[in-house]
Every structure is written in C-alpha cells, then in structure tokens.
Chain A
Amino acid sequence: MLRALNSKWAGFVLAILVILGGLSVLFFGKLESNIVYFVTPTELLAKGDLAYEKPVRLGGTVKKGSIEWDPQAISLKFLLTDGSKEIPVASHSTPPQMFQDDMGVVVEGKLFRNDSFQADRLMVKHSNEYRPPKEGEKPTLLYKDLLK
C-alpha cells in the first residue's frame, strides 16, 4: 500500500495536509473570537468581572411594568429577569409590535460597567406552547380606529 503511493501522491497529500493545517489554525483562531455564549441574567452576573464588555446572548423574560418605550427617540428600556436576578436592558431599535410584559426575549449585546446591558438585537422568543389571541387581543378590535 505504501509502495503504491508514489512521490507525486505523497507531495499532493502533504500539500493538502499543510493547507488543512493552516486553515484549521486560522479557523479556530477566528472561531474563538466569534463565539457568542447564551446565558441567563444569573449566569451572566455570576461571572463577575468577566461578564463586562463581551458579546453574549442574554435570555429571560420582560419584567412586568418595566417597559419604557419612546417612539420619538427610538429608545427602549426594560428589565430582563430569570426569576432570581434582573438586568436593565437598553436598546436603540424598535421593539416588535407585540412586545409586552412577561414575554420571553433574547437580546444580543454587551453588559457595561454601569451594569446596564446594551442590546444590538432583540429577538422575541416564540413560545412553544401555542395560544391563539383571545377576543380582547384581536387586532381588529385593538386597532379599530385605523379601519377606514
């Protein structure tokens, strides 16, 4: 079998190995700096100093009554909680139309030294438990004044 590998093939295989080696060095270097961890507020705060200014995905629910939305300035603030710990989140993007209290959300961004989380992206977590809107939540009734 080894004898069958003539020098040309050996060279070819060596070249592939060198390329793959170089690629994987590059690969895992870049991968390391581009991994985003998914954490809950408790997990993030438990990291102490390591928690600050690193990109993470933070998941939890929106605390009741904590939403402050200013459409003119496009500024959104709310408290994200996992039941035990909570983190204030600030975002300069428009929340989804149905964004509301007690909703599961995932925000992507960084925690800063003043203990406020700056979110670049806000994703609403679609609940697995499917529930159609109730009578009072139907858009036709809610936005009746917009119907011509």
Chain B
Amino acid sequence: MISPINWIGNLCIYLCLGSSLFGIATAYSSSRSEKEVQLKRARMAVYVNFFAMTTATLAMMFALLTNDFSVSYVANVGARETPRFFAAISLWSSLEGSILLWGWLLSGYATLCIYCYRNDFKQLMPWVIVTLLSLGVFFYLVLAIPANPFQSVYPVPDNGPGPNPLLQNHWLMSLHPPMLYLGYVGMSVPFAFAVASMVTGKLQDTWVDVTRRWTLVAWMFLSIAIILGGWWSYAVLGWGGYWAWDPVENASFMPWLTGTAFLHSIMVQQRRQMLKIWNLVLICTTFLLTLLGTFLTRSGVLDSVHAFTESGIGHYFLVCIGIALIISVGLIVWRAPRFKSEGRLDHPLSRETAFLLGNLLFVCFCFVVLLGTLYPLIVEALQGVKVSVGEPFFNQMTGPLALMILFLMGVGVAIPWKRGDPKKLLKLLVWPSLLMVAVTTLSFVLGIKKGFVLVTIALVTLSFSIMIFEMITVFITSGKLFSAKPKRYGGFVAHIGILLIAIGVVFSKNYQLDNQVSLKQGESFQIGNYKIQLEKLYANQEPQRFEIIARTEIFKNEKPLSLLNPKLNFYANNREPIGSPAVYSTITSDIYLTLMAFEHDKFQATFRVMVNPAVSWIWVGGGFIMIGVLISLLWPKIEEKK
C-alpha cells in the first residue's frame, strides 16, 4: 500500500511545479500589460508554492518521526533506534532531504520578499517573481525526478540504516545545515532584484537599500553557518582543527568573500553613485558561487571528506549554473552602457579608494580559493592524473591577503568620504599607532616571536583601537552609541568579530601543542602545565550505539581541573567507530582530548592530546558578527517606532 505521505509529498511537488509555471507566465504578461490582476495572480502562485512546500516538509518530518519506512527517504536515513531529535534533523542528513529543505526555504524567502514589497517596485516585481519562480522550477524538478524523497518502497522494510553517523554525533548538526541553506538560498533574492533591474533598466536608490538589506541577512546566515561548520568539525572530527581548506568548506567560503565585497561596495554606490555595474557583477557572482557550492557538495566530483553523496544530480546543477551564468553575463553586457557611474573618484586618499582596494583584495582572495579548489578537477580532466592542492598553498596565498584586509579595515574607517586630509589622518592615527607599538612590543616580550603572529597582533590592535576611539568620541559628543549611526557602528561590531576570529586563527594555528600518548588505567601524561590521567576505560550500550569511554582527569599545576570523557561511538551499521573528542575550553586555550584507539584486553587507551590556544575567540567572534549585523539591520526600525 502506498503511504499517504508519498502521495501528499508528490502532489505538493507537482503543485509547486505547476503553480510556478503559471506564476512565471502571469508575471511575464503583467510586465508587458502592467495589469494589476496578473501580478496578483503571480503573487498567489508564490504563496501556493510556500503552502505546498511547507506541507511537503511537514509531511516528511512526520514520516521521519513516525518511522514510515514506505517513504524512500525514511527508508534511507531513518532507524527505529535513532533518538527522536536526530530523527527530526535527519531531514537534512542526506541529498533528497536537503534539496527539500532548500526548496522550502526558497519558497519561504520568495513569499517573504513578495509580501514585503506587494505595494512597491511596480516595474521590478514581475521580474523578481519570474527569477525566483524559475529557480523554484529548477529545484522542484530536481525534487520530482533525480532526488525525489517521496518514492514508495515496496516491500516496506522493518527498519532503516539510520542517518550518517557523523551527522548524528553532535547537536551542532541541527544548526549548521539550516544556517548554511538560509545563507545560500537568501542570496537568490538579491540576485532576483539584480536580474529585474537589468531587464527593466531601472536602478533606483531604494533598490540599492533593499538589495543591501537582503544580502546582509543572507550574509549573516552564511557567516554563522561557516563558524558553526568549523565548530562542528572541531567538536566532532577529532583532528583538533576547524578549517582544512576542504573543497566543501571552500564552497561556502567563496560566496561569503564576494558577498562581503558587495556589502562594502554597495555603500560606495549609495554614497557616491559609483560602481553600479561592479555591484551587479558581485551579486551575480555571489549567487553563482552558491550554486557552484551546492554542486561541489552534492555531486561528489571532488574527492572530499564531506562528499556524502554521489548521484546524477550534478548534471542538473551544471545545466542550471550554465543557464544562470549566460543570463547574468548577457544582461550585464547588455545593460552596462546604461548603468554608467555618475560619481567618480575625487582623490586617491578617500573612503572610496579604501573600499575599492578592499573589494579587489576580497575578489583576489576568492579567485585564489576558487582556483585552488578546482585545480585538481582541471588537472584530472586534462592529464588524467589525480592531484590534490595542499593546505600550505592556501595558507601562503591567503595569509598576506588577509593581513592587507585587516590593515584596510582599520585605516579605511579613519579616512573620510570624497577627499582625505593627510594631516588630519596622521593626527587621528597617533594614539592607535602608539597603542599598536605598545601591544606588539608587550606580546614580543611575553614570548611571541613569530613574525606573522606579531604583524597580525599589530594590525588587529590598530584596527580595533581606531574603531574604539571613534565610537568613544561619538558617545562623548552625542551621548548616543548605536542610534547615532546604526549602520556604521553595527559594522564596527561585526568588524570586531572579524578581529577576534583573526586572533583565534593565528594563535591556534601557530601555537598548537600536539601529542599522541598511550596510557594504561591510572597512568598520566604531562603536556605544558597540564597533566592528563586515565581513570577508567569502559563501555556503555545505548539504543542507537555502543560507546567506549575513556574517563580522564585533567590537572593544572597538580590541581584537579576537570573530568573529560572522550569517546568512540560504534553505530550498528558502520564498521568504523566515530570519535567524540572531549574539550575543556577556557579563554586562553582549550585542552582537546581524542580517544584514538584502545586495547580492551590490556585496559590501555591511545589519545591524541592537544592544547589549542584561543580557539574559543573564533566562536565568540562569530557571535559579534551576528550582533553587528542585527544592530545595523534592526536599530533604525526600533528608532522609527519610538
């Protein structure tokens, strides 16, 4: 018997396909005839999509929670013994489910956007709807044909294999994928506005503000997703790091870089009517990179630790990327003469120049990451040999770029728009520079001898103090802080987040202590100031897994500090155990303990013990970025209401 979930799901997908095509047709005709009725119908189609996708997603959630194994997706990722929390989040643990989530989020974003501007942008909206619904058609097609989660399975199995063990090993997996998709999918709204403005040839100032806001929201989610992804990697994979320049990590980082460039250069457009075409290029690039990211992650073309899936879905994505690329390039080339900039650079020493240089750095950064990621593909296609591009390449290439960005982040803030005065600038930089010298010297005296780390400390101090001095001056003169210029000071808070991350990254990369040690019960091991002692090695049976736990106690200068329980988890359908490292986190450093192997007959365990300095600064920095974005997005609204 076919489960009702199967037909509800498929019905919803076909309803989405049909209503999208109807919406595209009516929106197109409304753009020609300017009939309000047609536009209303197109909006209706968007709402229907959202309703249908929500129903389909809820139906899938219901099937996952009730173990309805007649639904193909549940048969692939479900298991009776999986705890309910992990059963629910396994909605995005596999290909079909994540495309479903993607489609749902896309319909949600589209609905929100259409509803917010139901009375605005009369000329743009038909094309925004056409673009968003066309994207929808692509995802609904993928859901209907190559990645259909609602197929019926016969005979119905008694149980399923359960989700990928890596994904059910940590609660962070409940947050990282939805955040990533909110970031990725969110970039479709600015793209839709870009396409609409190019087709109609309209590029008003209100458009600029709208696009900036939507990009900011998507960018915030993308930032959170990248940080949470690093955190998950750190807390689950047991190698003591958070970033490996893995193709899939790069896939999410590239749109972040171009998105960041856009958020800065759009300000130049708002202020000075410059860089209009460049901004359109950045929006389109960012959007295309989100598609490329999904393609790299979901097609399995790159040999990656994250490549969970290998399927024919890659061809669909290649076609979609190709079409989007041709349309973007075509529209930009066609409209470039019309969107000529009215403003021009007045002086080399100006905020515009700083933004422009920053933009170049971000784009170069993205270019380096892109080529490093795709190089193995190119070589394999041309020469038939398998190669990989090592981590040192990325580190050596991006290190100097990152330092230059840090420098611009501070000094750019100090330079005014239009024309800077070198004397004023020097006067402004006196205190921050003195502070920079002092902090760097102090760090050197305290034992930091590595050149790259010292330069980073210097630049971070410079940027940080320029922003803080600026904020204090504003606070003293006006008595207001964020309400004075919410966008600007929200930006500062986000920048402080970036500075914290920079410190966390250079310290943890340069001063990590790493050791492997084998201990019998009762034996101990000294690393830095810390002593690690194995108390007991024992096993524990849970419904969904079998755990081997090494209970260890950490001492600092002979004083007991904490108990840590690194584990190896055996899942019924996986022969490889999945490790759960244990971390004792402080502001200055983390003690990171991974159970690597054990000899059960000798009660002996082999550990990897690491001391990772300043890693928690990275997570805190992520929090600052989020707060900064929220200040610059929400504060003006709060002020208006008062």
A residues neighboring B (CB under 8 Å): 4, 8, 16, 19, 23, 26-27, 30-31, 34-38, 55, 57, 71-72, 74, 92-98, 124, 126, 131-133, 137, 139-140, 142-148
Question: A37 to B386, alpha carbons, bound, how many Å?
Answer: 6
Nearest CB to that of B577 among chain A residues?
Answer: A97
CB of A31 to closest CB in B, whole Å: 6
Closest A-B pairs by Cβ, 10 of them: A34-B393, A38-B386, A146-B539, A94-B596, A139-B570, A34-B390, A71-B518, A147-B539, A94-B606, A139-B546
Given contacts A23-B364, A30-B393, A35-B388, contact A142 B600 (CB under 8 A): yes
User: Could you give, for residues 418-442 of chain B, a 1 whenever the CB lies within 8 Å of some chain A CB and a 0 otherwise?
Assistant: 0000000000000000000000000
Given contacts A96-B597, A137-B575, A139-B577, contact A30 B396 (CB under 8 A): yes
Given contacts A36-B388, A71-B518, A139-B577, contact A145 B396 (CB under 8 A): no
Question: A126 to B552, alpha carbons, bound, how many Å?
Answer: 30
21 A-B interface contacts by CB (under 8 A): A4-B337, A8-B344, A27-B397, A30-B396, A34-B389, A35-B379, A36-B388, A36-B389, A38-B388, A96-B596, A97-B576, A97-B596, A97-B598, A98-B575, A98-B576, A124-B576, A126-B576, A132-B161, A137-B575, A143-B546, A143-B600
Decide yes or no whether B372 CB sits under 8 A from chain A. Answer: yes
Contacts A27-B368, A35-B387, A57-B386 known; list 5 others, CB within 8 Å.
A31-B389, A35-B390, A36-B388, A37-B387, A71-B518
Chain A residues with CB under 8 Å of B546's CB are: 139-140, 143
CB of B385 to closest CB in A, whole Å: 6
CB pair B548–A143 under 8 Å, yes or no, is: yes
Question: A124 to B596, alpha carbons, bound, how many Å?
Answer: 14
Decide yes or no whether B392 CB sits under 8 A from chain A. Answer: yes
Chain B residues with CB under 8 Å of A8's CB are: 344-345
Question: A36 to B388, alpha carbons, bound, how many Å?
Answer: 5
Chain B residues with CB under 8 Å of A34's CB are: 389-390, 392-393, 396
CB pair A146–B537 under 8 Å, yes or no, is: yes
Chain B residues with CB under 8 Å of A37's CB are: 385-387
Cβ 8 A contact of B518, one of A72, A140, A145, A147: A72
CB pair A31–B573 under 8 Å, yes or no, is: no
Nearest CB to that of A34 among chain B residues?
Answer: B393
Decide yes or no whether B604 CB sits under 8 A from chain A. Answer: yes
CB pair B601–A145 under 8 Å, yes or no, is: yes
Cβ 8 A contact of B390, one of A36, A95, A98: A36
Decide yes or no whether B584 CB sits under 8 A from chain A. Answer: no
CB pair B538–A98 under 8 Å, yes or no, is: no
Question: A140 to B570, alpha carbons, bound, how many Å?
Answer: 9
Decide yes or no whether B510 CB sits under 8 A from chain A. Answer: no
List B523-581 residues whose CB lies under 8 Å from chain A: 537-541, 546, 548, 568, 570, 572-577
Nearest CB to that of B599 among chain A residues?
Answer: A71
Question: A98 to B568, alpha carbons, bound, how many Å?
Answer: 11
CB pair B389–A97 under 8 Å, yes or no, is: no
Chain A residues with CB under 8 Å of B392's CB are: 34
User: Could you give, for residues 375-411 of chain B, a 1 whenever the CB lies within 8 Å of some chain A CB and a 0 otherwise?
Assistant: 1000100000111111011001100000000000000
Question: A143 to B598, alpha carbons, bound, how many Å?
Answer: 10
Chain A residues with CB under 8 Å of B387's CB are: 35-38
Nearest CB to that of B161 among chain A residues?
Answer: A132
Decide yes or no whether B371 CB sits under 8 A from chain A. Answer: yes
Question: A132 to B79, alpha carbons, bound, how many Å?
Answer: 14
Question: A2 to B602, alpha carbons, bound, how many Å?
Answer: 80
User: Could you give, for residues 326-349 of chain B, a 1 whenever the CB lies within 8 Å of some chain A CB and a 0 otherwise?
Assistant: 000000000001000000110000
Chain B residues with CB under 8 Å of A139's CB are: 546, 548, 570, 577
Question: A132 to B572, alpha carbons, bound, how many Å?
Answer: 7
Decide yes or no whether B360 CB sits under 8 A from chain A. Answer: yes
Chain A residues with CB under 8 Å of B572's CB are: 132-133
Q: Report whether over half of chain A's contact residues are helix, strand or loop; otherwise say mixed.
A: mixed
Decide yes or no whether B516 CB sits under 8 A from chain A. Answer: yes
Decide yes or no whether B608 CB sits under 8 A from chain A. Answer: yes
Nearest CB to that of B379 among chain A residues?
Answer: A35
List B213-267 residues whose CB lies under 8 Å from chain A: none
Question: A116 to B588, alpha carbons, bound, how many Å?
Answer: 41
Decide yes or no whether B367 CB sits under 8 A from chain A. Answer: yes
CB pair A147–B541 under 8 Å, yes or no, is: yes
Cβ 8 A contact of A26, one of B385, B390, B397: B397
CB pair B538–A146 under 8 Å, yes or no, is: yes
Cβ 8 A contact of B375, one of A23, A31, A126: A31
List B302-323 residues whose CB lies under 8 Å from chain A: none
CB of A121 to closest CB in B, whole Å: 10
Nearest CB to that of B545 among chain A residues?
Answer: A139
CB of A60 to closest CB in B, whole Å: 14
Question: A74 to B345, alpha carbons, bound, how many Å?
Answer: 63
CB pair A131–B606 under 8 Å, yes or no, is: no
List B136-160 residues whose CB lies under 8 Å from chain A: none
Nearest CB to that of A55 among chain B residues?
Answer: B390
Nearest CB to that of B605 among chain A residues?
Answer: A71
Nearest CB to that of A100 among chain B residues?
Answer: B575
CB of A132 to closest CB in B, whole Å: 5
CB pair B600–A145 under 8 Å, yes or no, is: yes
CB pair A147–B538 under 8 Å, yes or no, is: yes
Nearest CB to that of B401 among chain A residues?
Answer: A23
CB of B614 to closest CB in A, whole Å: 25
Chain A residues with CB under 8 Å of B573's CB are: 132
Given contacts A126-B576, A140-B546, contact A71 B388 (CB under 8 A): no
CB of B543 to closest CB in A, whole Å: 12
Question: A126 to B303, alpha carbons, bound, how many Å?
Answer: 12
Question: A15 to B229, alpha carbons, bound, how many Å?
Answer: 37
Nearest CB to that of B394 among chain A residues?
Answer: A34
Chain A residues with CB under 8 Å of B539's CB are: 143-144, 146-148
Chain A residues with CB under 8 Å of B388's CB are: 35-36, 38, 57
Cβ 8 A contact of A96, one of B360, B576, B604: B576
CB pair A71–B604 under 8 Å, yes or no, is: yes
Most chain A CB neighbours (cut-off 10 Å) among B360, B599, B606: B606
Chain A residues with CB under 8 Å of B598's CB are: 97
Given contacts A27-B371, A31-B389, A126-B576, contact A140 B537 (CB under 8 A): no
Question: A132 to B368, alpha carbons, bound, how many Å?
Answer: 41
Question: A97 to B607, alpha carbons, bound, how many Å?
Answer: 12
CB pair A30–B397 under 8 Å, yes or no, is: yes
Nearest CB to that of A8 among chain B residues?
Answer: B344
Cβ 8 A contact of B597, one of A57, A71, A140, A142: A71
Question: A133 to B570, alpha carbons, bound, how many Å?
Answer: 11
CB pair B393–A140 under 8 Å, yes or no, is: no
Chain A residues with CB under 8 Å of B375's CB are: 31, 35
CB of B365 to closest CB in A, whole Å: 10
Nearest CB to that of B570 among chain A residues?
Answer: A139
Question: A36 to B360, alpha carbons, bound, how many Å?
Answer: 30
